[in-house]
Amino acid sequence: MLRLLTQLKVVIHRWWSDFTLQTRLMAAATLVVSLLMSGLTFWAVNSIQEDARLNDTRFGRDLGLLLAANVAPLVEKSDRSELAQLSRRFYQSAASIRYMLYADEEGGIFFGIPYSESEVQNSLSIQRRMQLPDSFNQNVDEPMVRQHQTPGGEVTDVFVPLRHGDRYLGVVALGIDPNPTVSASSNLTRDVTISVFVSIWVMVILGAVFNALTITKPIKELLLGVKNIATGNFKQRIDLPLGGELGELIVSFNDMAERLERYEEQNIEELTAQKAKLETLISTIADGAVLLDEDMHVVHVNPAARRIFGWDTDIPVVGCNVLQCLPDGVRAELTRPLYQIATGHFRHIPVRERDVTEFRLVLSDPVQRTVRILLNTVLDQARENLKGIAITVQDITREVELNEAKSQFISNVSHELRTPLFNIKSFIETLHDYGEDLTEEERREFLGTANHETDRLTRLVNDVLDLSRLESNRRYHFEAVEIVQAIEQTLRTHQLNAKDRGLVLIQEVDPELPTILGNYDLLLQVFSNLVGNALKFTESGGIVMIRAYVLPSDNHEPRPQYVRIEVSDTGIGIEPEDQAVLFDRFFRVENRVHTLEGTGLGLSIVQNIVAKHHSTVHLVSEVGTGTTFWFDLAIFREDAPSFEALMNASTRSPADTVDGTSSSNSFAKI
């Protein structure tokens, strides 16, 4: 029995727990209202019954007093016959009297109506004395009234003392039935109240069952479906045979889940494609890239990082702790900052300084190289929580070499400045101190040497100043320039030098060459530097040529837009490895091939000037055959929209011609 009660309690608890808070509150409110209404109804019924009892009591008391006043003389005379007739008439005249009993002073019953009732006969035969209530007072004229329940219903008992004069003769007891109309009304009201109470709860229970079957269950299914959708299970579907609004809601939910499933598939495909693109991009960049999670485990590494750190492709780097894979020197340098970032120490760093941490290291394995390592924190959108660490590895070996070259250049410039100054000072002091002792030829030789050293010093200073001026933010004035005039002036300037070296200067210029947009002085310096280099690196008997012609127009622009300038020679040529750094500052090819003097700034100046004209210098060279430098200049047009538009149009690659290559290999034609 106890086990059954326990199971029932569990079932009820589970059933109750399935209801929502709103349903529980509604049930509690319904219970309170129903109890309140039932209580008010029962209170009203009890009030009606109390009024009925009070009326019955008054009626019984008055009826008893009336009977006692009429029968008291008969009892005193012991006229039982007249007493019986009077009592019979009285009994028959009042339909509400159930019984009449007469008892003497001792309580013995000597007469009762009705005689025919079996209950009375049994009562008279069994109990011959009347048991008066304890509260009955024989000396009081007022009757005593009480009510009690019998198998036939409620009866009002009225005990009236019989007195004649001052003599106590006994007691008469009347049994009064209640008012049938009032009783019926009270019973009907009670029955209706009970029916209403039961009906309310039947309706509540039926409503709860209907709610559970038609509303709660679908809503629970929908809630479960929404939770599954929220967790990413877009295959969730609801199959319930419902119509109306809930049916439409379920159909809409299934349609939403189907759309989300398709959308997820598309997103996965797009994310996969984006991931592939990013991985391809990261794999193709020149810098090494290593991506870590918040626990410093490698998530991704590109080939450049593998090459720099010496990680073979068969080494499972992804997934392991990065500190276990880095070379010893790098690990010793990065251990502390990586742990500081991973443990949240970056939060104590100002926001503007927490993004990048830079290190510069020298690696000896697998090859000797200098690298710059950047640690970037990957933060969430609020820039508070760490999501990962990005390690960027840049091979700056070439940069270090260029800095060394720059330092070397400064040293060379210092030496070059000191040498001519020393020579000039030496010869001038000699002339000043011993001029009278020297011959005319010696004096001329000393002055010629001082003049040559002065020119050498001037060239060096001018090159440095020109390069500094070009790399500044100075704005130059551009206008229509006759390119033929600049070419002819350049040839006239170098004609004597070419003749002394046994070289031939040739120009091949279109006679109808249009004017170009540029700066005459800057272009003159470009031609002078290129022709001067060609003369310097071309042996006796060689040829140096300047060509200028209009590039053919393309389909997009019917009119010609550019003029191409080429400076070619039949000199010694340039090695392929030198061509890549030929335009770098302070780089001198002559240091490798011969001992000609130079500052290594001429081609850097050329490149900067051509860049000012929104173009680029290109070269084609073959060792032992010759070299050609070429670039394109925009044609000046008065109907052009604006100077900026012309400059933007001239930013196209100078190598873009009709066939996509340089128009000619001039040194080969020479």
Q: Is the four-CA dihedral 364, 366, 367, 372 of positive or negative sign?
A: negative
- Are domains 15-231 and 285-395 of this chain identical in fold? yes
Q: Does domain 401-468 have CATH number 1.10.287.130?
A: yes
Residue 195: which of 69, 34, 306, 322 has the closest Cα? 34
Beta strand pairing call for 516-518 and 562-569: unpaired
Distance (Å, whole) CA 343 – CA 327: 23
The answer to whether the CB of 324 falls within 8 A of the CB of 315 is no
Owner of token pair 């196209």? 652
561 CB contacts (<8 Å, ≥6 apart)? 551, 553, 634, 635, 649, 650
Per-position DSSP letters for 3-65, written without gaps between them: HHHHHHHHHHHHHHHTS-HHHHHHHHHHHHHHHHHHHHHHHHHHHHHHHHHHHHHHHHHHHHH
Distance (Å, whole) CA 169 – CA 138: 10
Distance (Å, whole) CA 65 – CA 160: 7
Q: What is the pLDDT of residue 588?
A: 62
What percentage of the chain's residues is helix, strand, coil (to nearest 5)?
55, 20, 30
297 CB contacts (<8 Å, ≥6 apart)? 319, 320, 321, 322
Q: What is the pLDDT of residue 649?
A: 46
The answer to whether the CB of 546 falls within 8 A of the CB of 557 is no
Find the helix packing angle between 244-284 and 217-230, rounded to 10°.
Answer: 10
* Alpha-carbon dihedral 170, 174, 175, 179, rounded to 10 degrees: -150
Q: What is the pLDDT of residue 590?
A: 53
Fold of 475-669: Heat Shock Protein 90 (3.30.565)
Written as six digits, the tokens of 515 are 């004017």
541: left (phi over 0), alpha (psi -120 to 50) or beta: left
Q: What is the pLDDT of residue 58?
A: 79
How far is CA 656 from its chain centroid?
46
What is each CA distance from 62 to 14, 33, 87, 140, 143, in whole angstroms?
63, 43, 16, 15, 9
What is each CA distance from 397 to 257, 391, 563, 575, 581, in whole angstroms?
56, 18, 39, 21, 14
Report the chain's C-alpha Rg in angstroms: 62
Fold of 285-395: Beta-Lactamase (3.30.450)
Residue 559: which of 662, 649, 664, 660 has the closest Cα? 649
Averages of pLDDT over runs of 10 residues in the chain (670 residues) are: 77 68 74 76 72 75 83 84 86 82 82 61 52 64 75 79 82 81 68 76 73 68 79 76 71 82 80 76 79 86 84 79 84 85 68 65 80 84 79 85 74 71 83 82 84 77 70 76 90 88 91 89 89 89 92 72 92 84 66 52 84 90 91 81 46 39 48
What are the sequence ranges of the domains in the chain? 15-231, 239-284, 285-395, 401-468, 475-669
Q: For residue 107, how many other CB atoms are within 10 A of its CB?
A: 13
Residue 450: which of 417, 481, 427, 429 has the closest Cα? 427
Helix (H) or strand (E) holding 165: none
What is each CA distance from 129 to 105, 110, 163, in whole angstroms?
10, 9, 19
Is the link from the previous residue into 641 a cis peptide, with omega within 30 of 0?
Answer: no
Written as six digits, the tokens of 113 are 């109506």
Q: pTM for the full model? A: 0.39
Q: What is the pLDDT of residue 409?
A: 65
Written as six digits, the tokens of 626 are 């010759």
Beta bridge partners, 147, equal 156
Looking at 3.40.50.300, 3.40.1190.20, 3.30.450.20, 2.120.10.30, the CATH number of the domain 15-231 comes to 3.30.450.20
Q: Is the four-CA dihedral 634, 639, 644, 649 of positive or negative sign?
A: negative
620 CB contacts (<8 Å, ≥6 apart)? 627, 628, 630, 662, 665, 667
Q: What is the pLDDT of residue 570?
A: 92
Residue 345 is given by DSSP the state G
Q: Is the four-CA dihedral 448, 450, 456, 458 of positive or negative sign?
A: negative
Per-position DSSP letters for 424-453, written without gaps between them: HHHHHHHHHHHGGGS-HHHHHHHHHHHHHH
Per-position DSSP letters for 465-482, written without gaps between them: HHHHHHTSS-----EEE-
Residue 101: which of 111, 90, 91, 93 has the closest Cα? 111
Using DSSP, state whether 287 is helix, strand or coil.
Answer: coil
The answer to whether the CB of 645 falls within 8 A of the CB of 608 is no
The answer to whether the CB of 91 falls within 8 A of the CB of 70 is no
User: Which own/partner contact pairs does 188-195 have at CB distance under 8 Å and 24+ positions apart?
Assistant: 189/41, 189/44, 189/45, 189/48, 190/42, 190/45, 193/38, 193/41, 193/42, 193/45
